[in-house]
Chains A and B, each alone.
Chain A
Amino acid sequence: MPVATRVIPCLDVDAGRVVKGVNFENLRDAGDPVALARRYGEQGADELTFLDVTASSGDRETTYDVVRRTAEEVFIPLTVGGGVRTVADVDRLLRSGADKVGVNTAAIARPEFIDEVADRFGAQVLVLSADVRRCRPDGPPTDSGFEVTTHGGRRGTGLDALAWCAEAARRGAGEILLNSMDADGTKAGFDAELIAAVRALVDVPIIASGGAGAVEHFPPAVAAGADAVLAASVFHFGDLTIGQVKDALAAAGHAVRRSRATAAPAH
């Protein structure tokens, strides 16, 4: 069997608490990130992603603390994104216990940032996070019809999303977190058209994000070319479990990880 499709819960963290709202607005508190991370680890999550949505820089210290405490007790890969602007930010997150760092706006503002992070820490630490939507009739068109957005999808950039993903991979991004802003919050399924379009252009792994609402939404994302699937609210509010998603993927013929190992006892 090939490498397993990864199932990744995403926790939006604001000043040390998990939140998630429809289209990143109307945020609802869903608990303690460390406790949630531990629960997801026990449920069989293949990785964890923290998206730091903390607005005030003074509260960002709590993010490092949450990362540290999570890495102390959860032994699966941890990606942390949100507000990462400098090589020093990346270094500090890695030293706190993150394995990968998600970069979004800072790379759009200055694409060389991708090269700098990849050169210093290796391509595998950099997850290029792209918030993508179809071009609006009242906005500038792009060649592919998809554009990159910022500010949680509220602001278009006019940057061609497919060309941007290809450029990011060429500059050294080790993975692309592809978030469809058209699908995000709809719970109507992943954006298979977008996933397939990016898959045709890049050879780094793709994490599909946005639109998950039911187990049957996951296999089409993988069939379209996703190597991993990410969701937030459907997991946090108990609509779906990691195991149910893996059952659906396995039933569709995709490899998944099911561990039977038990933690080794300390002597």
Chain B
Amino acid sequence: MVVLDYGSGNVRSAVRMLERVGADVELTADRERALAADGLLVPGVGNFHACVDGLRAVDGEYLVEMRLAGGRPVLGICVGMQVMFETSTEPSASGPREGLGQWPGVVDRLPAQVVPHMGWNTVDVPAGSALFAGVEDERFYFVHSFAAQDWTLQPTPPFDAVAPLVTYAEHGARFVAAVENGPLWATQFHPEKSGDAGARLLRNWLDVL
């Protein structure tokens, strides 16, 4: 398992939580190791533009692209999920950034009375989710002001055999809380900060690798 090391912030917790559920984990930005790992976790703390810049500085776009092309699992967390969309409306003094564009859509500010959305919220899990198996009714820890609020990717033949599974949550509006789409999975919340429920969720990811 590789946790992609591309900037500041607390990534120790993700490493430790993966270790706790039995993974052999390395925190690195090394290309070869990130490409070869059974699973690549893309964390993301802070601003959209800072994460995109940090990812590009370690060739993260190429790493994600190459892994997904080969069907090798990638899990994005928080802003590490947001960067998989086309772009974000989060203000940036140095202008907007393009995301990795793995999924269509724009990450937008939550229209809620209290923002950031900070704390433990429920999720609306679709039938058949492997990521949430056994923790469908748990609360998970969110910290974010922006989120993808529309899921527009509808697979067309011959790629429609396995449709993306989209989990929603609500804060001011419904937003995308998690996605299971082929080898690319992501959560807007922080499983590594979601106690035993988060541990089980990460274990579920390891189990499909």
Report A's interface with B, CB cutoff 8 A. Answer: 1-6, 41, 46, 68, 71-73, 75-77, 91, 94-99, 119-125, 174-175, 203-205, 227-228, 257, 259-267
Contacts and interface: CB of A to CB of B under 8 A. Distances in A.
28 contacts: A2-B121, A3-B118, A3-B119, A3-B120, A4-B120, A6-B120, A75-B13, A75-B17, A75-B192, A75-B193, A75-B198, A77-B141, A77-B143, A77-B193, A94-B9, A119-B93, A122-B45, A124-B45, A124-B143, A124-B145, A174-B143, A203-B113, A203-B114, A205-B119, A261-B135, A261-B195, A264-B22, A266-B22
B10 A97 contact: yes
Interface of A is mostly: loop
B16 interface: yes
Interface string B168-209: 001100000000000000000010111111111011001000
Q: List 8 tightest A-B contacts by C-beta distance, closest first.
A: A264-B203, A122-B46, A266-B22, A261-B197, A261-B196, A267-B22, A257-B120, A3-B119
Interface in B62-106: 93
A121 B8 contact: yes
A94 B145 contact: no
Contacts of B143: 77, 99, 124, 174
Given A122-B50, A261-B135, A95 B145 contact: no
Nearest to B8: A91
B195 A75 contact: yes
Nearest to B45: A122
B195 A41 contact: yes
A59 to B, nearest CB: 23
A247 B47 CA distance: 36
A259 B116 contact: no
B115 interface: yes
A75 B119 contact: no
A89 B120 CA distance: 28
Nearest to A44: B195
